[in-house]
Amino acid sequence: MEQVKVSLITGDGIGPEISRATRRIIDSSSAKIDWEIVETNPRQEDGDVIIDRMISSIEETSVGLKGPITTPIGSGYSSLTVALRKKLNLYANVRPVKKLLGLGPNFQAGDVDLVTVRENTEGLYSGIEHEIAGEYAESIKLVTRKGSEKIARFAFEYAKSEEREKVTAIHKANILKQSDGLFLDTARGISRDYPGIKLDEKIVDNMAMQLILHPEDYEILLAPNLYGDILSDLSAGLIGGLGVAPGGNFGDDLVVFEAVHGSAPDIAGQNVANPLGLLRSGIMMLNHVDQPEAAGEIEAAVDKVLEEREVLTPDLGGNSTTTELTDEIIGYL
């Protein structure tokens, strides 16, 4: 098996701790990864410098595994992570949520196995905002037919490749008749090319309730940017919280995998962050670069540690450190 080059963006906050843990685990498996390490320091560097360094590495390797990054205040960016997704046109954000052994909230979540496919470049997240005379503020929700078509096709292709039977399009088209109307209408059009996959439609508020009541009924959630952001965190809560939820941002040629959570400054530097969100993003990365055996080995080791319930970080109800959890996983490889 050939070595595959991957950009490892270490990030800040808990980023360096969890990216070190993730790299140690992947390097202890049979994976063949040649890491190109990209460090970022938002306290000392300008946002543009950070963005340019990340982009030039990812354009060279085509695949990134990224830790969370805090956006420098006054950098001119509302979020460096959102800017990176836009600049590389990583239009599809994929967040799978599957019931993990031994984990879950205080109620029975059933056999959750769903994937949010979130539009990643437009909608209310475009950040087209202004205030008027200190009295009014306006945000523009920009939805394009082209953007809606790309994400709907991605969701249906993803459903096909994963042998799923249902895509649920999420909207509020009863109120936002133009913007969400265009998103929904486009999804209906694209679904006609996939006769084997059912298109289900849900209004976003009802969807939030259904995910709590019957999460096992859903397979692929096709969502505009903001609804996808909110519902994917809700979904992460169904399987044990932000600390374990992975994700990937896909463009036509480039892909960047990253955990759902942010840089968690409240626990940074304490060696207590849960590395599983980034590690499980790394498992997605290994499958993407055609190293499924290594991905399977790591997944099995994580399952054993979760089943055993002896070495868990505080967010999962344990009292172990990031390093202890990392060592425990490596012990099962």
Interacting residue ranges for ligand ATP, rule: CB under 6 A: 14, 242-243, 261-264, 266-267, 273-274, 277, 315
Q: How far is the CB of 8 from ligand ATP (least distance, A)?
A: 17
8 Å CB contact between 249 and 120: yes
Nearer to ligand ATP, 90 or 273 (CB): 273
Q: How far is the CB of 199 from ligand ATP (least distance, A)?
A: 30
Q: How far is the CB of 125 from ligand ATP (least distance, A)?
A: 12
93 to 56, 63, 90, 119, 306: CA distances (angstroms): 21, 14, 8, 6, 26
Nearer to ligand ATP, 200 or 229 (CB): 229
Q: Which residues, at least 6 apart from 36, have a Cβ–Cβ distance to it below 8 Å?
A: 5, 6, 7, 8, 57, 60, 61
Nearest one of 125, 124, 194, 113 to 155, comparing CA atoms: 194
Nearest one of 204, 203, 201 to 188, comparing CA atoms: 201
18 to 22, 25, 67: CA distances (angstroms): 6, 11, 7
Nearer to ligand ATP, 23 or 261 (CB): 261
Nearer to ligand ATP, 58 or 260 (CB): 260
Q: How far is the CB of 161 from ligand ATP (least distance, A)?
A: 28
Q: How far is the CB of 180 from ligand ATP (least distance, A)?
A: 24
Nearer to ligand ATP, 297 or 315 (CB): 315
Which residue number places its CB atom closest to ligand ATP?
A: 262
Nearer to ligand ATP, 9 or 14 (CB): 14
Output the CA angle 163-26-290, nearest 5 degrees. Answer: 35
Euclidean distance between CA atoms 47 and 64, whole angstroms: 18
Q: How far is the CB of 82 from ligand ATP (least distance, A)?
A: 10
270 to 15, 40, 192: CA distances (angstroms): 12, 19, 51
